[in-house]
Structure 1
Amino acid sequence: MRLTGEQFELELLEEKHTESLFKIASEPSNWTYMTRKMHNEQDMKLIVQEALKLHQQGDTEPFIVRRKKDGAIVGSTRLYDISMPRKTAEIGSTYYSESVRSTGVNTECKYLLLTYAFETLGVVRVQFKTDEQNKAARKAIQKLGASEEGILRNERMLPDGRVRNAAVYSIIKEEWPEVKTKLTESIEIKKKGHE
């Protein structure tokens, strides 16, 4: 499966992407809020294998992010906890190379995932969770048009021993048409800025 946007496309994750993803995940700015530590490429290989197993079970759609102009892999993102009985899903496990930050990559990738979730899968709710302390991620999620629903206290223990609180956001199907319009406008503005 491939979801194609203006500057970026989402391509289903494969084991052959492990090395590229490890290089991106190893960039210092990506380490601060990761929920798992990766010491070497083998650790990333295990993460990729777990994602592929969940994909086979129908729970997860894991993607790499590819820049269209040169074909470079520049990140990863997922649609996961997909529940067709409940008609819900979550977007997360997202990280991008420093080289594409501030290019509209997040807006475009989330637009592609949200369009797929609401218009192809027919979900009624898409959820986002992030570390309560991750101000940049929280701002990016709010910029998408998601509503903050609250804080999950002691949501998980992180590898460094810190107990994480998670901020929870959502977009529901009734909000999707307005959110879609705003995201489309934002993508067009970024596109014109890069022409």
Structure 2
Amino acid sequence: MPLPVFLHGRAVRLEPLGEHHVEGLAAAAAEDRSGYGFTPVPSGVEATRRYVADALAAQAAGRTLAFATVRNADGLLLGSTRFCELDYWQGPVPWPPAPSGPEGDPLAAIPDAVEIGGTWLSARAQGTGANTETKFLMLRHAFETWGVRRVSLRADARNIRSRTAIERLGATFEGTRRAHARGLDGVVRGTSFYSVLDEEWPEVRAHLEQRVGACCTGRAAVRERQPAGPLRLAAC
């Protein structure tokens, strides 16, 4: 499985998730929880401790690679995200098709396809461009360091905010799997799937570089200083 790595951007950086992030993440999640109806976000220090422990256990098993999202300006923790559904296409073709583990040394293995998921941000970070730069850093690492063929993203079909954010990245909508799983509210929900392919990455990268650059030239900072209000979709 890929080893933990730091990903550095202009406004944010992604650090390998660790126990030392627990209190900062708990504080970030407590700012305003009204926007987490479709997203599993821990509430309180003990829940956050379990959240981090579960993420690290999944990482040790080779299923995920988890990060803490940190603001560069002051080191403030803003949230978390992760690579998941790491898929390896070397070796015999499995049947029926399903995500498979790596051939050979798992510590040296590089995935052929991966999903970005488990993303959440504090209320103050939403609409500041942090999500756009986070996704840009992860997509760039997946395509340019690992050389994957596909990056997938998904969202509860009812979560229009997340779906719009994914579409603004330049990802292609693949469809909605109906009655796919139970949502956090217990209601059986559909899941909307998106992807970016390696041949699409140059165009998507140019689009994201433009957006990240615009957000980092002052617009995001202005929005962040505004009084907190209802969570809305933002240009970044």
TM-score (norm 1): 0.92
Indicate the structure (1 or 2) with the bigger Cα radius of gyration. Answer: 2
The match for 1:181 is 206
Runs of 4 or more above 4 Å deviation? none
> Aligned pair 1:114/2:139, yes or no?
yes
Tell me the SS of whatever aligns to 1:176. Answer: helix
- The runs of 5 or more residues in structure 1 that have no matched partner are none
> Aligned pair 1:170/2:203, yes or no?
no
The match for 2:33 is 28
Deviation at 1:35, TM superposition (A): 4.2
Percent identical among aligned pairs is: 36
The match for 1:76 is 80
Contact 1:55 / 1:62 at 8 angstroms: preserved in 2?
yes
The match for 1:7 is 11
Deviation at 1:39, TM superposition (A): 5.1
Q: Provide the rounded CA distance (Å) in 2 between the counterparts of 1:24 and 1:68.
A: 15
Contact 2:79 / 2:119 at 8 angstroms: preserved in 1?
yes
Count matched residues: 194
- The runs of 5 or more residues in structure 2 that have no matched partner are 90-110, 222-236
Q: Provide the rounded CA distance (Å) in 1 between the counterparts of 2:10 and 2:210.
A: 12
Shift of the 180–24 alpha-carbon distance from structure 1 to 2, 3 Å rule, reads same
Contact 2:39 / 2:120 at 8 angstroms: preserved in 1?
no
What's the C-alpha RMSD, in Å, of the aligned pairs? 1.7
Deviation at 1:156, TM superposition (A): 1.7
Q: Going by fraction, where is strand more abundant, 1 or 2?
A: 1
Map 1:1-195 → 2, pairs under 5 A: 1-26=5-30, 27-35=32-40, 38=42, 40-85=44-89, 87-194=112-219
Shift of the 181–39 alpha-carbon distance from structure 1 to 2, 3 Å rule, reads closer
Deviation at 1:114, TM superposition (A): 0.3
Q: Provide the rounded CA distance (Å) in 2 between the counterparts of 1:18 and 1:169.
A: 30
| CA deviation profile, 1:62-112 (whole Å, cap 9, x unmatched) | 001100001100111111111233711001111111112221111100000
TM-score (norm 2): 0.77
| CA deviation profile, 1:165-195 (whole Å, cap 9, x unmatched) | 1110000101001000110011111112258
Tell me the SS of whatever aligns to 1:71. Answer: coil
Contact 2:38 / 2:184 at 8 angstroms: preserved in 1?
no
